[in-house]
Structure 1
Amino acid sequence: MRYGQFCPIAKANEILGEKWTILIIRELLMGARRFNELQRGLGMISPALLTSRLKTLEEQGLVVRRRINGQKGYEYFPSASAEDLMPVLVAMGEWGLCWARHNITDADYDADFLMYYLERSVSADNLPGVETVLRFEFSDFPTQKAWWLVVTKDRVELCIKDPGKDVDVYFYSTVRTMADVWMGDSSYKEAIKQGDLSVVGPSSLTKNITSWLTPSIFAESPRQSRSVTASINA
């Protein structure tokens, strides 16, 4: 895509303006390295399109591809130019919090996407002991109500089948409630008080959940109270 302009915004958009490109960079900056990890974070993208976008980003110098030692396949790393996009993505996200939230629908609250980000958000070093098992149950996701995160010092594993281990902390809510708490639109205390969330486990773990289940990077970002319509009519 070319715009025929020397404007730096136009030139940047020639690289970043294709569908999925910004979200692919988001996933790379959030730590996704392998093709299947990128697919998990992107959801509906086809493998062929993801392959094409990664190739383009590599040609443009935003992605570094390296073969996995002793295995088939590649890992993908953000280059310095891609890492320089982090403040741009944060600014886009904060703009979205203020001016695009009215476009969110019930279908956007996807349990797979939420659990992938919760998996990424666990700070294993802040959990006591060798292993911690977390169980999430979403009443509004009937096809897969229960999810488990098995946390050790070395890894966090997401399970969609009972791993057969003793559970340390149970979370009961809807996908939307858990997403809102993680995003910072609500707090654990508020959601529990309103009856939208139940957290069951020892107080040593439940009294300060955010110490080991870190919130979204947007949790402290400002939320715009005015509606888009009100802004236009002002």
Structure 2
Amino acid sequence: MIDYGQFCTVARGAEVFGERWTPLVVRELLCGSTRFNDIRRGLPRMSASLLTQRLRSLEETGVVKRVAGAAGGPAEYHLTGAGEELRPLVMALGEWGARWIGSRLKRGQLDAGFLMWDIRRFVHLDEFPRDRSVHIQFRFTDAHAGERRWWLVVEGGSADLCRDDPGPEPTLVVESTVLALTEIWTGDRDALDAVESRAVRVRGAARDARDLWRWLGRSAFANTREASRAER
């Protein structure tokens, strides 16, 4: 752990929260991930051994508690009261980044897997049709091999993200670059403008295609980013 050698509580707090990857581990826990593999899905470029170290460190400092899984299942990680108090810090950091840094993404910062995982956990389930399942296939034209096809399956009030074809004919097929869909998700680009310019192509029934963006929603910080762009 970082040691600034100062009694100042800013320094002491930064020793816990400022460790590399730690803010993102806390972000994943705040977003509802409790199992090790789910946390890793939100941090695909973090090694399993380093994640183990960070979780252990957070447990030692009282930010996280490890609990046995139900019916012999895998252990779960939950934020303590101290960990939950980090929520406004994480949100404020995200809002600041959306307002003052924005995306300006480099190629190495684009990640189809994290993008799809973020979409999956924040989809607007209450906006999807209640009388049928919806299968949305995403095709990324520029993703790494093995990350070019994704399926978002929404049925029975829950959403699943699949790497393999789940079988039924897709309700919609969305074809895009990783950058274009990321820009829509983060508030850097308007979805309808991206479709009109053919940066994103949506195939399927016209009504479903129109409802797609209402179903998916956007990042928690997209409104801030959009407002920031409008001000400049």
| Matched-pair contact (CA < 8 Å) for 1:133–1:165 | yes
Deviation at 1:209, TM superposition (A): 2.9
Secondary structure of the residue aligned to 2:70 is coil
Q: Could you state the TM-score of these two structures normalised by the residue count of structure 1?
A: 0.88
Alignment map for 1:101-112 (pairs within 5 Å): 101=102, 104-112=105-113
Q: Relative to structure 1, is the Cα distance of residues 225 and 124 closer, same or farther in structure 2, using a 3 angstrom cutoff? A: closer
Residue in structure 2 matching 1:133, options 113, 135, 144: 135
Cα separation, 2, equivalents of 1:224 and 1:157? 32
Q: What does residue 201 of structure 1 align with?
A: 204
Q: CA deviation at 1:49?
A: 1.4
Query: Does residue 193 of structure 2 align to residue 190 of structure 1?
Result: yes
The 1-side partners of 2:229 and 2:128 are apart by 35
Inter-partner Cα distance in structure 2 for 1:141 and 1:59: 38
AA matched with 1:165: P
Match of residue 164 from structure 1: 167
Task: Say if 1:29 and 1:83, in contact at 8 Å, map to a contact too.
Answer: yes
Please state how far the C-alpha of 1:177 moved relative to its aligned partner. Answer: 0.4
Q: Following the alignment from structure 2 to structure 1, what is the Cα–Cα distance between the partners of residues 67 and 212?
A: 37
- Please, what is the CA RMSD of the aligned residues? 2.1
Paired AA for residue 63 in structure 2: L
Alignment of 1:115-134 (within 5 A): 115-128=116-129, 129-134=131-136
In structure 1, distance between residues paired with 2:205 and 2:98: 34
For 2:201 and 2:103, the matched residues in 1 are separated by: 27
Q: Secondary structure at the match of 2:42?
A: helix
CA offsets 1:122-157 (integer angstroms, 9 cap, x no match): 233321124110011111125132211111124322
User: 1:223 deviation in Å?
Assistant: 2.9
Q: Which amino acid aligns with 2:228?
A: R
Using the TM superposition, name which of 207-216 and 177-186 deviates more: 207-216
Q: Deviations over 1:17-68 (max 9, x none)?
A: 2111111000000111100011111112221211111111112111121111
**CA shift for structure 1 position 102:** 7.1
Aligned identity (percent) is 36
The amino acid of 2:28's aligned partner reads: E
**Stretch of structure 1 that moved more, 39-48 or 207-216:** 207-216
Give the letter for the 2:90 counterpart: L
Query: Which ranges of 4 or more aligned residues in structure 1 deviate by more than 4 Å?
Result: 224-227
